[in-house]
Amino acid sequence: MDPDVRDKAWEELRARVAGCRRCGLCQTRTNTVFGQGSVDTPLVFVGEGPGADEDTSGLAFVGKAGQLLTKILSAGGIERESVFICNVVKCRPPGNRTPSQEEMLMCGGFLEAQLLLLRPRIVVCLGNTPLKWLLKTTEGITALRGRWFDWRGIQLFPMFHPSYLLRNDSRAKGSPKDLTWQDVQQLKARLDEIGKGE
Ligand code: SF4
Report the pLDDT value the prediction gives residue 197, as an integer from 0 to 100. 80
- The pLDDT of residue 107 is above 90: yes
Q: Could you give the CA distance from residue 127 to residue 129 in angstroms, rounded to a whole number?
A: 6
Does ligand 1 have an atom closer than 6 angstroms to the CB of 32?
yes
- Phi, psi values for residue 116, rounded to 5°: -75, -30
Confidence of residue 23 (pLDDT cuts 50, 70, 90): very high
Taking only the tens place, the pLDDT of each residue in 130-148 is 999 999 999 999 999 999 9
Distance 23 CA to ligand 1 centre (A): 5
Domains of the chain by range and CATH?
3-192 (3.40.470.10)
Taking only the tens place, the pLDDT of each residue in 45-97 is 999 999 999 999 999 999 999 999 999 999 999 999 999 999 999 999 999 99
Pick from 98, 106, 111, 129 the residue to mutate for probing ligand 1's pocket: most ligand atoms within 8 Å of its CB: 106
Confidence of residue 198 (pLDDT cuts 50, 70, 90): low
Dmax (CA) of the chain: 49
Mapping DSSP to helix (H, G, I), strand (E, B) and coil, where does residue 29 land? coil
Question: If residue 85 lies in a helix (H) or strand (E), which one and from where to where?
Answer: strand 84-87
CB 34 within 8 A of CB 14: yes
Confidence of residue 1 (pLDDT cuts 50, 70, 90): confident
Nearest CA to ligand 1 atom 2: 107
Report the pLDDT value the prediction gives residue 2, as an integer from 0 to 100. 87
Q: What is the reported pTM?
A: 0.97
CB 134 within 8 A of CB 99: no
Does ligand 1 have an atom closer than 6 angstroms to the CB of 107?
yes
Nearest CA to ligand 1 atom 3: 107
Does ligand 1 have an atom closer than 6 angstroms to the CB of 33?
no
Judging by beta carbons within 10 Å of its beta carbon (0-12, 13-18, 19+), is residue 27 exposed, middle or buried?
A: exposed
Distance 6 CA to ligand 1 centre (A): 22
Does ligand 1 have an atom closer than 6 angstroms to the CB of 188?
no
CB 62 within 8 A of CB 36: no
